[in-house]
Structure 1
Protein backbone atom coordinates (compact mmCIF):
# COMPACT_ATOMS: atom_id res chain seq x y z
CA UNK A 1 0.00 0.00 0.00
CA UNK A 2 1.24 3.46 -0.91
CA UNK A 3 1.60 5.80 2.03
CA UNK A 4 0.25 9.31 1.39
CA UNK A 5 2.91 11.92 2.17
CA UNK A 6 2.52 14.57 4.87
CA UNK A 7 2.42 17.40 2.32
CA UNK A 8 -0.54 15.77 0.50
CA UNK A 9 -2.68 14.67 3.45
CA UNK A 10 -2.18 17.40 6.02
CA UNK A 11 -3.33 16.66 9.56
CA UNK A 12 -3.55 18.93 12.57
CA UNK A 13 -1.66 18.08 15.80
CA UNK A 14 -4.79 16.36 17.18
CA UNK A 15 -5.01 14.14 14.09
CA UNK A 16 -7.91 15.99 12.50
CA UNK A 17 -8.00 16.87 8.79
CA UNK A 18 -6.32 20.22 8.10
CA UNK A 19 -9.07 22.62 6.97
CA UNK A 20 -12.26 21.00 8.25
CA UNK A 21 -10.74 20.26 11.69
CA UNK A 22 -12.61 16.93 11.84
CA UNK A 23 -11.70 13.43 12.94
CA UNK A 24 -13.22 10.53 10.97
CA UNK A 25 -15.67 9.45 13.70
CA UNK A 26 -17.07 13.00 13.90
CA UNK A 27 -18.48 12.85 10.36
CA UNK A 28 -21.89 11.37 9.59
CA UNK A 29 -22.63 9.44 6.41
CA UNK A 30 -25.21 12.08 5.44
CA UNK A 31 -23.73 15.55 4.99
CA UNK A 32 -25.62 18.80 4.41
CA UNK A 33 -23.48 21.56 2.94
CA UNK A 34 -24.34 25.25 3.25
CA UNK A 35 -22.32 28.25 2.13
CA UNK A 36 -22.72 30.56 5.11
CA UNK A 37 -21.28 29.43 8.49
CA UNK A 38 -24.27 31.06 10.20
CA UNK A 39 -26.59 28.73 8.27
CA UNK A 40 -25.06 25.71 10.04
CA UNK A 41 -26.90 26.70 13.22
CA UNK A 42 -30.02 27.43 11.17
CA UNK A 43 -29.99 23.74 10.22
CA UNK A 44 -28.74 22.14 13.44
CA UNK A 45 -31.28 23.97 15.59
CA UNK A 46 -33.78 21.41 14.31
CA UNK A 47 -31.60 18.44 15.33
CA UNK A 48 -32.87 16.32 18.22
CA UNK A 49 -29.32 16.08 19.55
CA UNK A 50 -25.95 17.68 18.69
CA UNK A 51 -22.95 15.53 19.53
CA UNK A 52 -20.11 17.60 18.12
CA UNK A 53 -19.26 21.15 16.98
CA UNK A 54 -16.16 22.66 15.42
CA UNK A 55 -15.30 25.84 13.50
CA UNK A 56 -12.12 26.72 11.62
CA UNK A 57 -11.94 29.56 9.11
CA UNK A 58 -15.14 29.44 7.00
CA UNK A 59 -15.60 25.73 7.72
CA UNK A 60 -18.09 25.17 10.54
CA UNK A 61 -19.49 21.73 11.34
CA UNK A 62 -22.24 20.42 13.61
CA UNK A 63 -22.92 16.67 13.80
CA UNK A 64 -26.10 15.37 15.40
CA UNK A 65 -29.31 13.52 14.69
CA UNK A 66 -32.74 14.33 13.29
CA UNK A 67 -35.59 11.80 13.58
CA UNK A 68 -33.02 9.12 14.31
CA UNK A 69 -30.81 9.92 11.30
CA UNK A 70 -27.22 10.98 11.98
CA UNK A 71 -26.34 14.11 9.98
CA UNK A 72 -23.36 16.46 9.69
CA UNK A 73 -23.98 20.00 8.46
CA UNK A 74 -20.92 21.88 7.24
CA UNK A 75 -20.33 25.34 5.78
CA UNK A 76 -18.23 25.53 2.63
CA UNK A 77 -17.88 29.25 2.10
CA UNK A 78 -18.35 30.56 -1.44
CA UNK A 79 -17.05 29.09 -4.69
CA UNK A 80 -15.80 25.88 -6.25
CA UNK A 81 -12.27 26.52 -4.95
CA UNK A 82 -13.66 25.94 -1.45
CA UNK A 83 -15.66 22.96 -2.71
CA UNK A 84 -12.37 21.39 -3.83
CA UNK A 85 -11.19 21.56 -0.21
CA UNK A 86 -14.42 20.37 1.37
CA UNK A 87 -15.19 17.43 -0.95
CA UNK A 88 -11.62 16.11 -0.92
CA UNK A 89 -11.36 16.35 2.86
CA UNK A 90 -14.79 14.78 3.41
CA UNK A 91 -13.71 11.89 1.22
CA UNK A 92 -10.41 11.58 3.07
CA UNK A 93 -12.28 11.36 6.38
CA UNK A 94 -14.36 8.53 4.96
CA UNK A 95 -11.93 6.60 2.78
CA UNK A 96 -8.38 7.15 4.07
CA UNK A 97 -6.90 5.53 7.17
CA UNK A 98 -5.26 8.46 8.98
CA UNK A 99 -3.03 6.22 11.11
CA UNK A 100 -1.43 4.36 8.20
CA UNK A 101 -1.99 7.22 5.72
CA UNK A 102 -3.27 4.71 3.16
CA UNK A 103 -6.46 4.43 1.11
CA UNK A 104 -8.88 1.93 2.64
CA UNK A 105 -9.44 -1.35 0.80
CA UNK A 106 -13.22 -0.92 1.01
CA UNK A 107 -14.45 2.51 -0.07
CA UNK A 108 -17.68 4.04 1.25
CA UNK A 109 -20.02 6.65 -0.21
CA UNK A 110 -21.33 9.78 1.46
CA UNK A 111 -24.76 11.28 0.83
CA UNK A 112 -24.18 15.01 0.21
CA UNK A 113 -27.07 17.48 0.11
CA UNK A 114 -26.43 21.14 -0.67
CA UNK A 115 -28.90 23.67 0.76
CA UNK A 116 -28.11 26.94 -0.98
CA UNK A 117 -29.50 30.17 -2.32
CA UNK A 118 -29.75 31.17 -5.94
CA UNK A 119 -31.04 33.59 -8.54
CA UNK A 120 -33.43 32.43 -11.27
CA UNK A 121 -32.56 33.23 -14.89
CA UNK A 122 -35.97 32.29 -16.33
CA UNK A 123 -38.66 34.99 -15.82
CA UNK A 124 -41.42 32.48 -14.96
CA UNK A 125 -39.59 31.06 -11.92
CA UNK A 126 -41.11 32.55 -8.79
CA UNK A 127 -39.09 34.17 -6.06
CA UNK A 128 -39.22 32.18 -2.78
CA UNK A 129 -39.65 28.89 -4.67
CA UNK A 130 -37.32 25.86 -4.37
CA UNK A 131 -35.17 24.33 -7.11
CA UNK A 132 -33.37 21.01 -7.47
CA UNK A 133 -30.47 20.78 -9.91
CA UNK A 134 -30.85 17.82 -12.28
CA UNK A 135 -27.64 19.01 -13.94
CA UNK A 136 -25.04 21.69 -13.36
CA UNK A 137 -23.05 23.56 -15.98
CA UNK A 138 -19.78 24.80 -14.54
CA UNK A 139 -18.16 28.01 -15.76
CA UNK A 140 -15.25 27.36 -13.37
CA UNK A 141 -12.06 25.39 -14.14
CA UNK A 142 -12.13 22.90 -11.26
CA UNK A 143 -13.01 19.67 -13.09
CA UNK A 144 -10.39 20.36 -15.77
CA UNK A 145 -7.68 19.69 -13.16
CA UNK A 146 -8.82 16.07 -12.72
CA UNK A 147 -8.72 12.95 -14.91
CA UNK A 148 -11.41 10.37 -15.71
CA UNK A 149 -14.24 12.84 -16.38
CA UNK A 150 -15.99 10.65 -18.95
CA UNK A 151 -19.27 11.23 -17.10
CA UNK A 152 -19.44 14.84 -18.36
CA UNK A 153 -22.22 15.66 -20.83
CA UNK A 154 -20.05 17.04 -23.63
CA UNK A 155 -22.91 17.28 -26.15
CA UNK A 156 -24.69 19.67 -23.78
CA UNK A 157 -21.61 21.83 -23.19
CA UNK A 158 -20.70 21.96 -26.89
CA UNK A 159 -24.21 23.13 -27.76
CA UNK A 160 -23.98 25.79 -25.03
CA UNK A 161 -20.60 27.05 -26.24
CA UNK A 162 -21.94 27.35 -29.79
CA UNK A 163 -25.20 29.03 -28.75
CA UNK A 164 -23.52 31.66 -26.58
CA UNK A 165 -20.45 32.21 -28.77
CA UNK A 166 -18.50 31.53 -25.57
CA UNK A 167 -15.24 33.46 -25.31
CA UNK A 168 -12.34 30.97 -25.49
CA UNK A 169 -10.40 33.06 -22.94
CA UNK A 170 -12.88 31.92 -20.31
CA UNK A 171 -12.82 28.39 -18.93
CA UNK A 172 -14.52 25.73 -21.03
CA UNK A 173 -17.97 24.96 -19.56
CA UNK A 174 -18.60 21.40 -18.35
CA UNK A 175 -21.89 19.66 -17.55
CA UNK A 176 -22.44 17.07 -14.83
CA UNK A 177 -25.59 15.37 -13.51
CA UNK A 178 -27.01 14.92 -10.02
CA UNK A 179 -27.19 11.53 -8.33
CA UNK A 180 -30.22 9.70 -9.74
CA UNK A 181 -31.42 8.26 -6.43
CA UNK A 182 -31.27 11.59 -4.61
CA UNK A 183 -32.92 13.36 -7.54
CA UNK A 184 -35.87 10.96 -7.24
CA UNK A 185 -36.17 11.81 -3.53
CA UNK A 186 -36.69 15.46 -4.40
CA UNK A 187 -38.93 14.83 -7.42
CA UNK A 188 -42.00 16.61 -6.12
CA UNK A 189 -44.17 19.65 -6.82
CA UNK A 190 -42.25 21.52 -4.13
CA UNK A 191 -39.11 21.62 -6.30
CA UNK A 192 -38.54 23.09 -9.75
CA UNK A 193 -36.23 20.72 -11.59
CA UNK A 194 -33.69 22.41 -13.83
CA UNK A 195 -30.10 23.07 -14.83
CA UNK A 196 -27.95 25.22 -12.55
CA UNK A 197 -25.15 27.41 -13.87
CA UNK A 198 -22.22 27.59 -11.46
CA UNK A 199 -20.35 30.88 -11.83
CA UNK A 200 -16.84 31.93 -10.79
CA UNK A 201 -18.01 35.21 -9.27
CA UNK A 202 -21.07 37.09 -8.05
CA UNK A 203 -20.86 40.28 -10.09
CA UNK A 204 -19.36 40.27 -13.60
CA UNK A 205 -19.56 36.48 -14.09
CA UNK A 206 -23.28 36.63 -13.31
CA UNK A 207 -23.88 39.69 -15.46
CA UNK A 208 -24.20 42.19 -12.62
CA UNK A 209 -22.99 45.70 -13.41
CA UNK A 210 -22.05 48.23 -10.72
CA UNK A 211 -19.09 50.25 -12.05
CA UNK A 212 -17.54 47.65 -14.35
CA UNK A 213 -18.84 46.63 -17.76
CA UNK A 214 -19.03 42.93 -18.65
CA UNK A 215 -17.23 41.31 -21.59
CA UNK A 216 -20.55 40.19 -23.12
CA UNK A 217 -23.50 42.37 -22.11
CA UNK A 218 -25.94 39.95 -23.73
CA UNK A 219 -24.70 36.78 -22.04
CA UNK A 220 -27.56 36.42 -19.53
CA UNK A 221 -30.08 36.78 -22.35
CA UNK A 222 -28.26 34.07 -24.33
CA UNK A 223 -28.24 31.79 -21.29
CA UNK A 224 -31.93 32.40 -20.69
CA UNK A 225 -32.79 31.41 -24.27
CA UNK A 226 -30.55 28.32 -24.40
CA UNK A 227 -32.40 25.01 -24.72
CA UNK A 228 -30.77 21.60 -25.08
CA UNK A 229 -33.21 18.79 -25.79
CA UNK A 230 -35.84 20.53 -23.69
CA UNK A 231 -33.50 21.38 -20.81
CA UNK A 232 -33.13 25.05 -19.87
CA UNK A 233 -30.69 26.75 -17.53
CA UNK A 234 -32.87 27.79 -14.61
CA UNK A 235 -30.64 29.48 -12.05
CA UNK A 236 -27.23 30.87 -11.10
CA UNK A 237 -25.10 30.05 -8.06
CA UNK A 238 -21.43 29.27 -7.26
CA UNK A 239 -20.91 25.70 -5.94
CA UNK A 240 -23.06 23.00 -7.55
CA UNK A 241 -20.86 21.98 -10.51
CA UNK A 242 -17.91 21.40 -8.18
CA UNK A 243 -19.98 19.33 -5.76
CA UNK A 244 -21.46 17.21 -8.53
CA UNK A 245 -18.16 16.75 -10.36
CA UNK A 246 -16.05 15.78 -7.35
CA UNK A 247 -18.83 13.58 -5.95
CA UNK A 248 -18.86 11.64 -9.24
CA UNK A 249 -15.06 11.35 -9.26
CA UNK A 250 -14.90 10.19 -5.64
CA UNK A 251 -17.92 7.87 -5.70
CA UNK A 252 -20.29 9.88 -3.51
CA UNK A 253 -23.95 10.78 -4.05
CA UNK A 254 -24.84 14.47 -4.32
CA UNK A 255 -27.85 16.71 -4.85
CA UNK A 256 -28.11 20.50 -4.84
CA UNK A 257 -31.17 22.37 -3.60
CA UNK A 258 -31.70 26.11 -3.77
CA UNK A 259 -33.99 28.71 -2.33
CA UNK A 260 -34.70 31.10 -5.20
CA UNK A 261 -34.14 34.53 -3.66
CA UNK A 262 -33.79 36.59 -6.85
CA UNK A 263 -35.14 36.65 -10.37
CA UNK A 264 -32.42 38.09 -12.58
CA UNK A 265 -34.69 38.44 -15.61
CA UNK A 266 -37.16 40.57 -13.63
CA UNK A 267 -34.49 42.33 -11.51
CA UNK A 268 -36.36 41.41 -8.32
CA UNK A 269 -35.31 40.05 -4.91
CA UNK A 270 -37.10 38.23 -2.10
CA UNK A 271 -38.73 40.19 0.72
CA UNK A 272 -38.81 37.05 2.88
CA UNK A 273 -35.41 35.47 2.28
CA UNK A 274 -34.80 34.12 5.80
CA UNK A 275 -38.28 32.58 5.92
CA UNK A 276 -37.73 30.94 2.53
CA UNK A 277 -34.36 29.50 3.54
CA UNK A 278 -35.83 28.19 6.81
CA UNK A 279 -38.68 26.55 4.91
CA UNK A 280 -36.20 24.84 2.55
CA UNK A 281 -34.17 23.58 5.52
CA UNK A 282 -37.25 22.05 7.19
CA UNK A 283 -38.45 20.51 3.92
CA UNK A 284 -35.03 19.00 3.24
CA UNK A 285 -34.63 17.52 6.72
CA UNK A 286 -38.08 15.95 6.46
CA UNK A 287 -37.30 14.33 3.09
CA UNK A 288 -33.84 12.96 3.92
CA UNK A 289 -34.92 11.54 7.28
CA UNK A 290 -37.72 9.39 5.83
Structure 2
Protein backbone atom coordinates (compact mmCIF):
# COMPACT_ATOMS: atom_id res chain seq x y z
CA UNK A 1 0.00 0.00 0.00
CA UNK A 2 1.36 3.46 -0.86
CA UNK A 3 2.48 5.71 1.99
CA UNK A 4 -0.05 8.51 2.46
CA UNK A 5 0.76 12.04 1.29
CA UNK A 6 0.37 13.30 4.87
CA UNK A 7 3.06 10.88 6.10
CA UNK A 8 5.63 11.24 3.31
CA UNK A 9 5.38 14.87 2.25
CA UNK A 10 6.90 15.88 -1.07
CA UNK A 11 7.46 19.34 -2.52
CA UNK A 12 5.84 20.26 -5.87
CA UNK A 13 9.10 19.35 -7.65
CA UNK A 14 9.08 15.86 -6.12
CA UNK A 15 11.80 16.48 -3.53
CA UNK A 16 11.40 15.43 0.11
CA UNK A 17 9.73 18.12 2.17
CA UNK A 18 12.32 19.43 4.64
CA UNK A 19 15.58 18.63 2.89
CA UNK A 20 14.50 19.74 -0.60
CA UNK A 21 16.38 16.77 -2.08
CA UNK A 22 15.74 14.19 -4.78
CA UNK A 23 17.41 10.75 -4.85
CA UNK A 24 19.97 11.77 -7.46
CA UNK A 25 21.13 14.70 -5.31
CA UNK A 26 22.89 12.63 -2.62
CA UNK A 27 25.88 10.30 -2.42
CA UNK A 28 26.04 7.04 -0.47
CA UNK A 29 28.52 8.62 1.96
CA UNK A 30 27.09 11.61 3.80
CA UNK A 31 28.81 13.93 6.28
CA UNK A 32 26.53 15.43 8.93
CA UNK A 33 27.38 18.82 10.40
CA UNK A 34 25.15 20.77 12.74
CA UNK A 35 25.92 24.32 11.66
CA UNK A 36 24.81 25.27 8.13
CA UNK A 37 27.90 27.50 7.81
CA UNK A 38 30.06 24.42 8.33
CA UNK A 39 28.77 22.89 5.08
CA UNK A 40 30.90 25.36 3.10
CA UNK A 41 33.85 24.66 5.38
CA UNK A 42 33.65 21.01 4.33
CA UNK A 43 32.79 21.45 0.65
CA UNK A 44 35.56 24.02 0.08
CA UNK A 45 37.89 21.00 0.13
CA UNK A 46 35.93 19.20 -2.62
CA UNK A 47 37.50 18.98 -6.05
CA UNK A 48 34.11 19.69 -7.63
CA UNK A 49 30.62 20.56 -6.40
CA UNK A 50 27.76 19.33 -8.56
CA UNK A 51 24.73 20.25 -6.47
CA UNK A 52 23.69 22.78 -3.82
CA UNK A 53 20.42 23.46 -2.05
CA UNK A 54 19.11 24.84 1.22
CA UNK A 55 15.76 24.89 2.96
CA UNK A 56 15.55 26.25 6.49
CA UNK A 57 18.60 25.00 8.42
CA UNK A 58 19.07 22.04 6.09
CA UNK A 59 21.86 22.94 3.67
CA UNK A 60 23.30 20.35 1.28
CA UNK A 61 26.33 20.23 -1.01
CA UNK A 62 27.21 17.17 -3.12
CA UNK A 63 30.47 16.82 -4.97
CA UNK A 64 33.70 14.86 -5.30
CA UNK A 65 36.77 14.64 -3.09
CA UNK A 66 39.79 12.73 -4.42
CA UNK A 67 37.52 10.82 -6.79
CA UNK A 68 34.89 9.90 -4.19
CA UNK A 69 31.36 11.29 -4.41
CA UNK A 70 30.29 12.83 -1.10
CA UNK A 71 27.38 14.76 0.35
CA UNK A 72 27.60 17.14 3.29
CA UNK A 73 24.39 18.26 4.97
CA UNK A 74 23.65 20.48 7.96
CA UNK A 75 21.20 18.94 10.40
CA UNK A 76 20.72 21.84 12.75
CA UNK A 77 20.77 21.19 16.48
CA UNK A 78 19.16 18.36 18.41
CA UNK A 79 17.69 14.86 18.13
CA UNK A 80 14.40 16.16 16.71
CA UNK A 81 16.23 17.48 13.65
CA UNK A 82 18.12 14.20 13.28
CA UNK A 83 14.74 12.45 13.19
CA UNK A 84 13.76 14.60 10.19
CA UNK A 85 17.06 14.32 8.34
CA UNK A 86 17.58 10.57 8.66
CA UNK A 87 14.00 9.59 7.85
CA UNK A 88 14.01 11.79 4.74
CA UNK A 89 17.43 10.58 3.61
CA UNK A 90 16.27 7.00 4.03
CA UNK A 91 13.15 7.79 2.01
CA UNK A 92 15.35 9.05 -0.83
CA UNK A 93 17.16 5.73 -1.18
CA UNK A 94 14.67 3.16 0.12
CA UNK A 95 11.25 4.40 -0.97
CA UNK A 96 10.12 4.80 -4.57
CA UNK A 97 8.88 8.39 -4.41
CA UNK A 98 6.76 8.00 -7.53
CA UNK A 99 4.76 5.02 -6.20
CA UNK A 100 5.23 5.92 -2.50
CA UNK A 101 6.10 2.28 -1.79
CA UNK A 102 9.20 0.92 0.02
CA UNK A 103 11.69 -0.70 -2.34
CA UNK A 104 12.23 -4.45 -2.17
CA UNK A 105 16.02 -4.00 -2.11
CA UNK A 106 17.37 -1.49 0.38
CA UNK A 107 20.43 0.74 0.22
CA UNK A 108 22.69 1.34 3.22
CA UNK A 109 24.13 4.83 3.58
CA UNK A 110 27.38 5.68 5.38
CA UNK A 111 26.74 8.55 7.79
CA UNK A 112 29.68 10.38 9.36
CA UNK A 113 28.94 13.09 11.91
CA UNK A 114 31.52 15.86 12.23
CA UNK A 115 30.46 17.80 15.28
CA UNK A 116 31.55 19.77 18.31
CA UNK A 117 31.16 18.69 21.88
CA UNK A 118 32.12 19.24 25.49
CA UNK A 119 34.26 16.67 27.27
CA UNK A 120 33.13 15.28 30.63
CA UNK A 121 36.54 13.78 31.43
CA UNK A 122 39.55 15.83 32.56
CA UNK A 123 41.88 13.61 30.52
CA UNK A 124 39.99 14.28 27.26
CA UNK A 125 41.33 17.78 26.60
CA UNK A 126 40.03 20.64 24.49
CA UNK A 127 41.12 20.51 20.85
CA UNK A 128 41.15 16.69 20.86
CA UNK A 129 38.88 14.36 18.83
CA UNK A 130 36.42 11.81 20.22
CA UNK A 131 35.04 8.88 18.25
CA UNK A 132 31.79 7.69 19.81
CA UNK A 133 31.76 3.93 20.32
CA UNK A 134 28.29 4.25 21.84
CA UNK A 135 25.56 6.85 21.83
CA UNK A 136 23.81 7.35 25.19
CA UNK A 137 20.30 8.64 24.56
CA UNK A 138 19.15 10.88 27.44
CA UNK A 139 16.44 12.72 25.50
CA UNK A 140 13.78 10.06 24.83
CA UNK A 141 13.27 10.56 21.10
CA UNK A 142 14.12 6.95 20.24
CA UNK A 143 11.39 5.65 22.57
CA UNK A 144 8.85 6.51 19.86
CA UNK A 145 10.29 3.65 17.75
CA UNK A 146 10.54 -0.11 18.30
CA UNK A 147 14.03 -0.24 19.77
CA UNK A 148 14.39 -3.57 21.56
CA UNK A 149 16.78 -4.93 18.92
CA UNK A 150 19.27 -2.04 19.20
CA UNK A 151 19.45 -1.52 22.98
CA UNK A 152 22.21 -2.59 25.37
CA UNK A 153 20.27 -3.43 28.56
CA UNK A 154 23.25 -4.35 30.75
CA UNK A 155 25.01 -1.02 30.22
CA UNK A 156 21.71 0.88 30.45
CA UNK A 157 20.80 -0.73 33.78
CA UNK A 158 24.26 -0.03 35.18
CA UNK A 159 24.00 3.60 34.07
CA UNK A 160 20.58 4.03 35.69
CA UNK A 161 21.82 2.53 38.94
CA UNK A 162 25.15 4.35 39.13
CA UNK A 163 23.68 7.77 38.27
CA UNK A 164 20.49 7.33 40.33
CA UNK A 165 18.54 8.22 37.21
CA UNK A 166 15.15 9.81 37.89
CA UNK A 167 12.12 7.76 36.88
CA UNK A 168 10.48 11.01 35.77
CA UNK A 169 12.90 11.19 32.83
CA UNK A 170 13.00 9.05 29.69
CA UNK A 171 14.81 5.77 30.30
CA UNK A 172 18.37 5.93 28.88
CA UNK A 173 19.08 3.99 25.67
CA UNK A 174 22.58 2.98 24.63
CA UNK A 175 23.31 2.23 20.97
CA UNK A 176 26.55 0.96 19.39
CA UNK A 177 28.17 2.60 16.38
CA UNK A 178 29.06 0.89 13.11
CA UNK A 179 32.21 -1.09 13.94
CA UNK A 180 33.15 -1.05 10.25
CA UNK A 181 33.18 2.76 10.23
CA UNK A 182 34.89 2.89 13.62
CA UNK A 183 37.79 0.92 12.20
CA UNK A 184 37.98 3.25 9.21
CA UNK A 185 38.01 6.48 11.22
CA UNK A 186 40.00 5.39 14.27
CA UNK A 187 43.53 6.66 14.76
CA UNK A 188 46.35 6.83 17.32
CA UNK A 189 45.30 10.26 18.64
CA UNK A 190 41.56 9.55 18.77
CA UNK A 191 39.79 9.21 22.11
CA UNK A 192 36.96 6.67 22.20
CA UNK A 193 34.06 6.27 24.58
CA UNK A 194 30.35 6.79 25.06
CA UNK A 195 28.79 10.07 23.94
CA UNK A 196 25.77 11.27 25.89
CA UNK A 197 23.09 12.98 23.81
CA UNK A 198 20.91 15.51 25.60
CA UNK A 199 17.66 17.06 24.39
CA UNK A 200 18.74 20.61 25.15
CA UNK A 201 21.79 22.81 25.78
CA UNK A 202 21.11 24.31 29.20
CA UNK A 203 19.18 22.30 31.80
CA UNK A 204 19.47 18.98 29.96
CA UNK A 205 23.26 19.39 30.01
CA UNK A 206 23.38 20.59 33.62
CA UNK A 207 23.89 24.28 32.87
CA UNK A 208 22.24 26.61 35.37
CA UNK A 209 21.51 30.24 34.53
CA UNK A 210 18.28 31.16 36.36
CA UNK A 211 16.51 27.80 36.37
CA UNK A 212 17.53 25.08 38.84
CA UNK A 213 17.92 21.58 37.37
CA UNK A 214 16.35 18.36 38.63
CA UNK A 215 19.71 16.77 39.52
CA UNK A 216 22.53 19.27 39.97
CA UNK A 217 25.12 16.49 40.35
CA UNK A 218 24.15 14.50 37.24
CA UNK A 219 27.21 15.54 35.22
CA UNK A 220 29.51 14.43 38.04
CA UNK A 221 27.67 11.11 38.21
CA UNK A 222 28.10 10.67 34.46
CA UNK A 223 31.78 11.57 34.81
CA UNK A 224 32.18 8.74 37.29
CA UNK A 225 30.18 6.13 35.37
CA UNK A 226 32.18 3.08 34.32
CA UNK A 227 30.95 -0.27 33.00
CA UNK A 228 33.47 -2.83 31.76
CA UNK A 229 35.83 -0.03 30.78
CA UNK A 230 33.11 2.01 29.06
CA UNK A 231 32.79 5.60 30.28
CA UNK A 232 30.96 8.73 29.19
CA UNK A 233 33.53 10.87 27.39
CA UNK A 234 31.45 13.78 26.14
CA UNK A 235 28.05 15.40 26.00
CA UNK A 236 26.25 16.81 22.94
CA UNK A 237 22.86 16.72 21.18
CA UNK A 238 22.88 14.42 18.11
CA UNK A 239 24.92 11.20 18.30
CA UNK A 240 22.50 8.76 19.95
CA UNK A 241 19.70 9.77 17.57
CA UNK A 242 21.98 9.16 14.59
CA UNK A 243 23.11 5.78 15.90
CA UNK A 244 19.63 4.64 16.87
CA UNK A 245 17.88 5.58 13.64
CA UNK A 246 20.73 4.28 11.49
CA UNK A 247 20.63 0.91 13.27
CA UNK A 248 16.85 0.71 12.85
CA UNK A 249 16.93 1.74 9.17
CA UNK A 250 19.95 -0.37 8.21
CA UNK A 251 22.52 2.39 7.68
CA UNK A 252 26.08 2.69 9.02
CA UNK A 253 27.06 5.56 11.30
CA UNK A 254 30.01 6.94 13.21
CA UNK A 255 30.22 10.18 15.17
CA UNK A 256 33.40 12.25 15.40
CA UNK A 257 33.50 15.21 17.75
CA UNK A 258 35.93 18.08 18.07
CA UNK A 259 36.22 18.81 21.78
CA UNK A 260 35.97 22.56 22.20
CA UNK A 261 35.10 22.63 25.92
CA UNK A 262 36.00 20.56 28.97
CA UNK A 263 33.17 20.57 31.50
CA UNK A 264 35.33 18.82 34.12
CA UNK A 265 38.09 21.45 34.09
CA UNK A 266 36.03 24.44 32.96
CA UNK A 267 38.28 25.11 29.96
CA UNK A 268 37.15 26.30 26.52
CA UNK A 269 39.24 26.07 23.36
CA UNK A 270 41.26 29.13 22.36
CA UNK A 271 41.03 28.01 18.71
CA UNK A 272 37.69 26.23 18.19
CA UNK A 273 37.53 27.09 14.49
CA UNK A 274 40.94 25.58 13.80
CA UNK A 275 40.07 22.46 15.80
CA UNK A 276 36.93 21.93 13.72
CA UNK A 277 38.93 22.52 10.51
CA UNK A 278 41.46 19.91 11.65
CA UNK A 279 38.66 17.40 12.22
CA UNK A 280 37.15 18.14 8.80
CA UNK A 281 40.50 17.46 7.10
CA UNK A 282 41.01 14.30 9.17
CA UNK A 283 37.55 13.03 8.22
CA UNK A 284 37.92 13.74 4.50
CA UNK A 285 41.31 12.06 4.36
CA UNK A 286 39.97 8.96 6.13
CA UNK A 287 37.01 8.81 3.73
CA UNK A 288 39.32 8.96 0.73
CA UNK A 289 41.70 6.23 1.93
Task: Give TM-score scaled by structure 1 length.
Answer: 0.98
Residue 88 of structure 2 is aligned to residue 89 of structure 1: yes
Superposition map of 1:139-178 within 5 A: 139-178=138-177
Map of 2:216 onto structure 1: 217
RMSD (Å), alpha carbons: 0.7
Aligned counterpart, 2:64 = 65
Match of 2:106 in 1: 107
Alignment-derived partner of residue 22 in structure 2: 23
2:249 corresponds in structure 1 to 250
How far apart in 1 are the matches of 2:148 and 2:236?
A: 22
Cα distance between partner residues in 2 of 1:191 and 1:254: 17
SS of residue in 2 equivalent to 1:281: helix
Q: Which runs of 5+ in 1 are unaligned?
A: none
Q: Could you tell me how far 1:148 is from its partner in structure 2?
A: 4.5
Report how far residue 98 of structure 1 moved.
Answer: 0.8
Q: Indicate conservation of the 8 Å contact 1:111/1:252, yes or no.
A: yes
1:191 aligned residue: 190
Q: Secondary structure at the match of 1:106?
A: coil
**What do the CA deviations read for 1:13-72 (whole angstroms, capped 9, x no partner)?**
000000000010001100000000000000000000000000000100000010000001
My pick for the range that moved more, 181-190 or 241-250, is 181-190
Residue number in structure 2 paired with 1:76: 75
3-state DSSP of counterpart to 1:261 = strand
Larger mean Cα displacement after TM superposition, 239-248 or 146-155: 146-155
Alpha-carbon deviations, 1:81-113, whole Å to 9, x = none? 000000000000011111111111110100000
* Number of residue pairs matched by the alignment: 289
Q: Does 2:52 match 1:44? A: no
How far residue 186 of structure 1 moved from its aligned partner, in angstroms, is 1.9
- Asked if 2 retains the 8 angstrom alpha-carbon contact of 1:149 and 1:249, the reply is no
- How far has the Cα of 1:187 moved from its partner? 2.1
Counterpart in 1 of 2:282?
283
1:187-242 Cα shifts (integer Å, max 9, x gaps): 21131011100011111111111122211111111110010111110000000000
Helix, strand or coil: the match of 2:87?
Answer: helix
Separation (CA, whole Å) in 1 of partners of 2:148 and 2:20: 29
- Provide the rounded CA distance (Å) in 1 between the counterparts of 2:107 and 2:218: 41
Which runs of no fewer than 5 residues in structure 2 stay unpaired?
A: none
User: CA offsets, 1:101-160, max 9 Å, x none?
Assistant: 111111010000000000000011111000100001100111111114312101111111
User: For the residues of structure 1 that align with 2:107 and 2:148, how far apart are their CA atoms?
Assistant: 20
**SS of alignment partner, residue 155 of structure 1:** helix
Moved over 2 A (4+): none
d(CA) in 1 for partners of 2:146 and 2:128? 36
